[in-house]
Amino acid sequence: MALDHELQSVGKSPRHTELEAQTKVERDAQILARLGKKSVLEVRSESERLENRYGWLVICGWQGILAGSGYLTGTMIEALIQLNHPNYNPQRWEGTLLFWATVVVAVLINTVASRLLPPIEAFILVVHVLGFFAILIPVVYMAPEKASAHEVFTVFQNGGAWPSQGLSFFIGLIGSVFAMFGCDSAVHMAEEVRNADWVVPWSMLVTTLLNGALGFGIVVAMLFVTTDIEAALESPAGALGYPFMQIFYDATGSKGGSSAMIAIVIVMSSCGTIAALATASRLVWAFARDRGLPFWHHMSKVQMGTVIPLYAVIICSLVACAIGLINIGSSTAFNDVISLSVSSLYASYILTESFLLYHRLTGGIKSSRNGADETSEPNQLIWGPFHLPGIFGIAVNLFAICFGIIIFFFSFWPVATPVEAATMNYSVLMTGAVILFAILYYIAYARKVYKGPIVEVAPFQLEQAMTPDSKFDR
């Protein structure tokens, strides 16, 4: 809860007029000091600057996922039309309009129909699992020709003409990484989840295992039914970036059947846009609540009655639609913008895992189950009920850091050689621009109001803190 609300709950009368930002920061700091607390992380200026850049990276990463998901949905609709009407000549502006339509649907579900979001998500899970079999069985059964196991598992393609197969593998890995994004969205929705310390990690684990298994299964199936990959890539749908549509058609021989299977993929992509908007808006709202964004006074507000961060939802959707305009002028520039999702998020993952490993090795995390209720040690990290202790946890952290560094490094590479201005990967420029903007914004304004993440405390702790002889008084 915000400190104003907590003060009211213990009989204190907060000012009804808007306070100056610096005054609010000082007042909150005094109350937290009496509780023996500071920010969630340390409030040293060095930590504040790092936290601020970290927040911008995560927000830009998820904004890229939102834009990318909407773009994929819109352009897949174009490719589906192309498959059924060969004379159709898709234009980039048409893809942008379909992209906007997808974002509008996501906005409506996240605002007007926000109470229906949980059952909608449950419905999405059912469609996700059933859709897997609805695609896998017809494609495998009806395919007139199939590749051999030798061709599927031992023959490798180097479509980018890279000097070695190993280099081609790592560069091609980025596409699979993008496809598996999103499992950490539950973390950013944790404040709206009951028993989040158990539910969130379990949802992340189950989501990764389920999607990983289904994804691996459909990839293997597609490899077996694809006997001419070059023909699929050169098809009209393949030229738009979706050769799987031609593979569906070649396997079934039916435009109606293949269109039905493609529709399932489009529905799942549009549902991903809904989830991406929900996650991105909560990130923007939380960072604005911490006073880390411009206009945080407005973006940190929630809508009365529904408790939806309406301003954050609108800002995220408008930014996504603005990014879509770039596609009209240049698809290369658009791809460079949404490529922030990989580099920015993996930069944030590396930082998180590195700090966790550091505290593991230095004994900075308490193992007491009751430690979360103690307020005598400011900023004390406490193990939750879901964690991997000992050497196994350290090994997982090390692997995560190494894997993250590899992905972060290769996320800046172009997909093929020779590299030209039109095929260059400018994501390193975009990532650097985000970090530079975060630094300049922090120096110009944020350092005056941003003091780290806002700490939530219980009403009884505030009541004790406001008592003169309280044990929390420092």
Tens of pLDDT, residues 201-219: 888 899 889 999 999 999 9
Long-range CB contact pairs, 226-232, < 8 A, 24+: 226/147, 227/145, 227/146, 227/147, 229/157
> Is the preceding peptide bond at 86 cis, omega within 30 degrees of 0?
no
pLDDT in tens, 224-243: 999 888 899 899 998 888 99
- Is it the case that residue 366 has pLDDT exceeding 60? yes
Distance CA 359, CA 382 (A): 11
- Is it the case that residue 178 has pLDDT exceeding 50? yes
Residue 261 vs residue 48, higher pLDDT = 261
Long-range CB contact pairs, 149-155, < 8 A, 24+: 152/220, 152/223, 152/224
- Is it the case that residue 4 has pLDDT exceeding 50? no
Q: How does 160-180 read in b/e, with b if 16+ C-beta sit within 10 Å?
A: eebeeeeebeebbebeebbee
Least confident of 38-52, 85-99, 191-205, 290-304: 38-52
User: 109: burial class by Cβ within 10 Å (0-12, 13-18, 19+)?
Assistant: buried
356 with 397: CB under 8 angstroms? yes
Residue 452 vs residue 33, higher pLDDT = 452
Distance CA 321, CA 66 (A): 10
On the CB side of 278, CA atoms within 13 Å amount to: 32
Q: Which pair of tokens denotes residue 198?
A: 């158990």
| pLDDT number for residue 46 | 53
| pLDDT number for residue 101 | 95
Mean pLDDT of the chain: 81
The residues with which 382 forms a beta bridge, in sequence order, are 366
pLDDT in tens, 30-41: 444 444 444 443
3-state class (DSSP) for residue 285: helix
The residues with which 381 forms a beta bridge, in sequence order, are 365
Q: In 3-state terms, the chain is what percent helix, strand and coil (to 5)?
A: 70, 0, 30
Q: Which pair of tokens denotes residue 358?
A: 């550091």
Distance CA 372, CA 384 (A): 9
What's the predicted TM-score (pTM) here? 0.82
Q: Where are the alpha helices (DSSP H) in 290-417?
A: 296-299, 310-329, 331-338, 340-361, 390-410
Distance CA 83, CA 359 (A): 54
Of 24, 33, 31, give the one whose Cα is nearest residue 10. Answer: 31
345 with 58: CB under 8 angstroms? yes
C-alpha torsion sign, points 332, 338, 342, 347:
positive
| pLDDT number for residue 375 | 46
Share of the chain above pLDDT 70, in %: 82
Average pLDDT over residues 151-180: 88
CA angle, 412 then 413 then 418, to 5°: 145
